[in-house]
Amino acid sequence: MPSHNGRHFLQIPGPSPVPERLLRAMSMQVIDHRSAEFGALGKQVLEGCQAIFKTSGPVVIYPSSGTGAWEAAIANTLSPGDKVLMVETGHFATLWRNMAARLGIEVDFIGGDWRHGADPAALEARLAEDNAHAIKAVMVVHNETSTGVTSRIPEIRKAIDAAAHPALLMVDTISSLGSVDYRHDEWQVDVTVSCSQKGLMLPPGLGFNALSQKAIAASKTNSLRRSYWDWEEMLKPNANGFFPYTPATNLLYGLREAIAMLLEEGLDEVFDRHRRLAAATRAAVGAWGLEVLCQDPREYSPVLTAVVMPPGHDADAFRKVVLEKYNMSLGAGLSKLAGKVFRIGHLGECNDLTLIGALSGVEMGLAAAGVPHRRGGVQAAMDELEGRSLANSETAAVA
């Protein structure tokens, strides 16, 4: 690899760059995880997570990846042979389906084209056919990281209610929590799954389950075997800020600071910032004459934008040029999208200047790699940001 001056641009859709403030917080010395000092830390992060998930119920924190949090959601609510309803929205929905199948769960997997989110009408129709209520859970990925498509969870909740179906609703917010508006209680989600390295801006290593009382009740009667993932074993010591096994103390220091950063900016402001950056990115893509993978404007992701490569051009070859010439990492296309798309992450601490720098690298990279495009994408993004910033300023002035 050639040497580079300046900082590396990590523009993948997670892990996202870790802010200096969080790095400093995590540099603190480890403390006794049975001490009163640790109990205070534990209570702070557990209560802070409730604000981020927008829930009054418990949030369980595992020293794990998001994949572990997926497994915890299944292991605590379902029994071998239970049937669940899932939707093929992309690579990660498919991986969650595969996990459920390996754990002995029967999966009704509604096919998809990877360019749209979960269809509430299709889910309602499938649930309405299930008169015996054999389906025990509906499992949906909120923001599909592989495609840049965000499913409409409030509409899915309405679809379940319209079918008068008792199925649990489980939602993966691994790449959306802290970046996209999400309301665990209001949307009556039973298990929300997430992790630390996306919108929470931390390194990988923490997995989360936010729980409803309905989900906790299901955990009392289901029969999938678990030990490490057992909610009950976590919830008992969590009441006093402690954990049943050695916690990831330094990541918890970082989590406390990440929650503070999000709440200081204001969650609504965080979500608006992500929407602005996403709109500017799409403006650039359109100006380049390229295509956004997501086809429904209602489902555009605020977290990332997946860009379709022109026929005859390989996305991975383009990404290699960008990395070697401009020291910037872009997200790869995954599984059936390998070589066909590249993904621009605009999440976490990303701001207007960071995004414009990243889009400049993409535009220069398109030229360097010989990818057919029109110039002017960066200017289109700046115009979008300036127009929206002006509109926001005028609104604030009137208020």
DSSP 222-239: -----STT-HHHHHHHHT
Q: How far apart are CA 146 and CA 398, in angstroms?
A: 40
- Quick one: DSSP state of residue 203? P
Helix (H) / strand (E) containing 382: helix 377-398
- Whether residue 225 is annotated as binding a ligand: the answer is no
- Cβ–Cβ < 8 Å for 191, 170: yes
Stated as kind and residue range, the H or E segment containing 171 is strand 168-172
Nearest alpha-carbon partner for 373 in 295, 310, 282: 310
Backbone angles phi and psi of 373, in degrees to 5: -165, 165
Picking from 7, 301, 291, the residue whose alpha carbon sits closest to that of residue 181 is 301
Provide the 10 A C-beta neighbour count for residue 224: 18
In the sheet with 135-141, reading across from the earlier edge strand, the strands are 59-62, 207-211, 191-195, 168-172, 135-141, 83-87, 106-110
Q: Among 156, 151, 13, 159, which Cα is nearest to 93's?
A: 151
Q: What is the DSSP letter of 193?
A: E
Residue numbering of the annotated binding site: 343
Residue numbering of the annotated binding site for substrate: 343
